[in-house]
Structure 1
Amino acid sequence: MKSGFYSAISKFGNCPLSSDDTFQFQLLLMNGLGTYHGADTNEILKTAMYIEPGNLESFSNAFKALADKTKADADASLINSNAINSRDKYFACASYYRTADFYLHANWSDPRINEYWALQTECFDKAIAALPVPGQRLTLPAQGFNVEAIFYAPAPPNPTVKRPTLIMGNGYDAAKEELMHFFVFPALARGWNVITYEGPGQSTRTLHPVVDYLYSAARLDVDRNRLALLRNSFGGYLAARAAAFEPRIRALLLDGGIYDAHAAFVGQLSPSLQSLYRSGRKEQLDSVLAAQLRNPQVPSGLRWGAEQGQWAFKIESTYDFLEAVRAYSIAKLTERIQIPTWIAAPANDQFYTGQPELVKAALEEKATLRRFEGAAGYHTQVGATETANRIIFEWLDGVFGISSQNLGG
């Protein structure tokens, strides 16, 4: 049996942080956040020692302990000194609380889910308040719901200096706050405005209010001719769909590209489970999976993947979740995407193998396919964020004709 929807490749490099492949991927991701102030490398290495492979509770408990200690250090620094001295500690403890929550979604009523989220929000808000230009949380009204967003600027807003702006959303399992340590800091360092967002459905209806805000009188510091949309992981599908219906976006970045999410998800089932699903045997598929999810010997990737899918879509059946994802294809939308598009194609992407190439083929000359090998060759280039950002912004510079001299002060 494969290790499930989201099984990781056997080993990431020569120095695994865990013998559990799924934990290894998550620990590599966390370690990579340290490049841009989201973690402390040795804290991740030490925490990995306390995590029992295959034990989801031990993973959560280890990061909760690290988060609590880091928060205590940050609070003490804030009391004894100032917000700037504690800022990176608050960023790190926010990352650790989010990670402590990562494997808790099997039980939707687990009180730790809301508890850890409140703690990550508290820490993250203290950190962005201490940035040179504080991050600004926004609630943008849409039709029947609100879009939660955060706006960041590299310098105090100046209506005479209109900056390119990067719109960013995350994917299947991560929060907009995590984007701070993947893309926001690198964008600010290059003189870009950034807005991160998330909302119900993560669809084009979610993007419209964000672009409306950037077009409003509140944002005279935004260059409307240089708006780019970037989303990673499952967001590679969501961003492509949104861009198909939002003509004000001028460049699209898919890290990585997803042509047919349903095919990718079903393709990671074991052959026997695929057979049950394709023959429409819902009760049997759900029963077999439920038994497997109760077995601690079943790979973490299978347990997390099935539980996260049901949690994210608020569906209590894996069969129904797969049916819901059936519509997640851009096959009928590619003709609507007429803007320059950048697509990441990691060599060792264990989630969406082959999907970026399908997007490239559909978009033809409008798309640039960028292959990532070696240390940068994992899903969303985890552990190699500096390399990824350098390549991303070189492409954006070319699309918009940007140089370090023309972004303004």
Structure 2
Amino acid sequence: MTYISGDRESGPTRRALLVAGAGAALAAGCAPGGTPGAPAPTPSGSAPSGLASATGPTPGAMTLFKDPGYNFNGLLALGASGAGAAEVGEVLTAVNAINGAGLSAQTYVETFRKLGDQLLGPPPGAPADAQTKRFRALRAAQYYGQALFFVLGSKDPGSEEQLYKAGRDAWDAFCDLCEPAPVKAAVPYGTTPLPVWFFRPDTSNTPRPTVILTNGSDGQNVDMWTYGVPAALERGWNALVYDGPGQGQLLFVDRVVFTPTWEKVVSPLVDWLSARPDVDQDRIALTGLSMAGDLAPRAAAFESRIAALVAMPGCVEPWLGFPPEIREILTPSKEETNDIWNTKVVPELPPEAAAVLKKRFEPFSIPAMLQARQGKLFTDFYTPATRIQALSIASVVSRIKAPTLVLDYEDEQFYPGQPRQLYDALTSPKDYLKLTAAQGAQLHCSPMAPQLHCEVVFDWLQETLPGGGS
């Protein structure tokens, strides 16, 4: 780890883009935590050349599944074990079962959903005490989240909301058994309040530094536990977990999509925190995981009460995370764009690619989500695509005043080059840190090394906002 303080073509031949497996390239962009550009499943299900080689991004035992999209998900679950949000043996047993049955969305969903159901029951031996029930519920939330991610490609896509609610119930059961339990609240935001979980080291009114943990486009609350809550509590910090537009409850139940003006999401959270006696108003930090490496900087550009910012990784243009084959579909004309999509792209799209695109676009279009739950591919490409384009923060980065840490990762598969782009554009005090394969911390968000990830983030926060809360 090292700290360091074109012209659009008139139009491609669409059918040429969609032959010989190009549909998989079009589908690139599906991974939990949420950002466009992830390695997509190949139609054959085989690993790309060199993936599991000694020099590939997931060598040897790091390749749980030959398909890199599923493998990334599995690595996230495995990495969460260090925070109690998974169990190594459970994950590896599930991996073996899925591979034995034949890797598919159906076998992945069935296996992890069943594992979540089992964990909500009693363990072997004596009756479960509160601590056992607590962490079994947390692991259940993880496994339901794993199933949720691929459910739109399964035989029962209509169970998406039900599966989300199962994971949410498990998360709430975990929270209720925490000591102290987090404060649950609904923070005003437009016509749809934001659900929040406010974790504290204790119930005293001691003013403490507080971190607002922002999730990506398809992560779940359990991911915010893995990527921040215990690390904050152990250092005497408070930690706020929340669902914003396009996330969790607001997406799957309330049907609210992402907004490019994320400061309108964060400012009510800061208002709510600032009214609490156990929050030090001068030490409120904001982190953004995955696509929130774009959302959090956007909020900090307009919300002056943010005292420190961490982008994990830095992202400036989420739309550029999609491969050219996707981006070239979008034209200035909604009619032309949707005609290209429906008449030239969709008929040639392999089922695997269609499933990935359903997942990738649902946080930006409620009609797309509802069609996907019916087993259909969305017909309006233009609207969600332009919403993703609108997430660009290139024009506002210079407004950020808070000290900022920009994380990058070796073999970053979603936003390669963008963390450095964000760092270079910042005019505030700043640091850049790249996590590496030598540390086992390669790939987007270091799925195999969330403990190391939290160490570097919270060491930086402690140094930037000194004076712990303990």
TM-score (ref. length: structure 1): 0.88
User: Any gaps of 5 or more consecutive residues in structure 2?
Assistant: 1-21, 30-37, 40-47, 53-57, 246-257, 369-377
* Helix, strand or coil at the partner of 2:401: coil
Structure 1 partner of 2:462: 397
Structure 2 partner of 1:5: 28
Q: Give the partner amino acid of 2:170.
A: C
Q: Deviations over 1:350-401 (max 9, x none)?
A: 1111111110111046321111111112101111011111111111111112
Pair 1:69 & 2:118 matched: yes
Structure 2 partner of 1:207: 266
Q: Give the partner amino acid of 1:64.
A: R
* 8 Å CA contact 2:109, 2:154 repeated in 1: no
Work out which of the residue numbers 236, 239, 242 in structure 2 matches 1:197. Answer: 242
* Helix, strand or coil at the partner of 1:252: strand
Structure 1 partner of 2:220: 175
Residues 288 and 344 (structure 1 numbering): CA distance in 2 closer, same or farther, change over 3 Å? farther
Deviates more, 1:53-62 or 1:16-25: 53-62
Structure 1 partner of 2:178: 131
Deviation of the 1:39 alpha carbon? 0.7
Deviates more, 1:129-138 or 1:388-397: 129-138
**Structure 2: how far apart are the matches of 1:167 and 1:326?**
25
Deviates more, 1:229-238 or 1:130-139: 130-139
TM-score (ref. length: structure 2): 0.78
Deviation of the 1:142 alpha carbon? 2.2
Q: Deviations over 1:260-307 (max 9, x none)?
A: 112222xx244xx554446964322344443455x34x4xxx445411
Q: Deviations over 1:291-330 (max 9, x none)?
A: 455x34x4xxx44541123211124333432222121111
* Helix, strand or coil at the partner of 1:103: helix
Residues 26 and 252 (structure 1 numbering): CA distance in 2 closer, same or farther, change over 3 Å? same
Q: Give the partner amino acid of 1:249.
A: I
Pair 1:407 & 2:469 matched: yes
* Helix, strand or coil at the partner of 2:98: coil
Structure 2 partner of 1:28: 75
Structure 2 partner of 1:238: 295
Residue correspondence of structure 1 range 251-270 to structure 2 within 5 A: 251-265=308-322, 268-270=323-325
Deviates more, 1:273-282 or 1:37-46: 273-282
Deviates more, 1:246-255 or 1:318-327: 318-327
**Structure 2: how far apart are the matches of 1:238 and 1:42?**
35
**Structure 2: how far apart are the matches of 1:367 and 1:292?**
46
Deviation of the 1:54 alpha carbon? 5.5
Deviation of the 1:233 alpha carbon? 0.6
Structure 2 partner of 1:14: 60
Size of the aligned set, in residue pairs, is 390
Sequence identity of aligned pairs in percent? 24
Deviation of the 1:106 alpha carbon? 5.9
Work out which of the residue numbers 313, 324, 329 in structure 1 matches 2:364. Answer: 313
**Structure 2: how far apart are the matches of 1:401 and 1:215?**
19
Structure 1 partner of 2:85: 38
Residue correspondence of structure 1 range 357-368 to structure 2 within 5 A: 357-364=420-427, 366-368=429-431
* 8 Å CA contact 1:91, 1:124 repeated in 2: yes
Structure with bigger helix share is 1
* Helix, strand or coil at the partner of 1:237: helix
Q: Deviations over 1:11-40 (max 9, x none)?
A: 423221001110000000011111101111
Work out which of the residue numbers 205, 208, 224 in structure 1 matches 2:281. Answer: 224
Deviation of the 1:107 alpha carbon? 9.0
**Structure 2: how far apart are the matches of 1:292 and 1:373?**
38
Structure 2 partner of 1:84: 131
Work out which of the residue numbers 330, 335, 341 in structure 2 matches 1:285. Answer: 341
User: Any gaps of 5 or more consecutive residues in structure 1?
Assistant: none
Deviation of the 1:63 alpha carbon? 0.6
Residue correspondence of structure 1 range 321-336 to structure 2 within 5 A: 321-336=384-399
Residues 222 and 281 (structure 1 numbering): CA distance in 2 closer, same or farther, change over 3 Å? closer
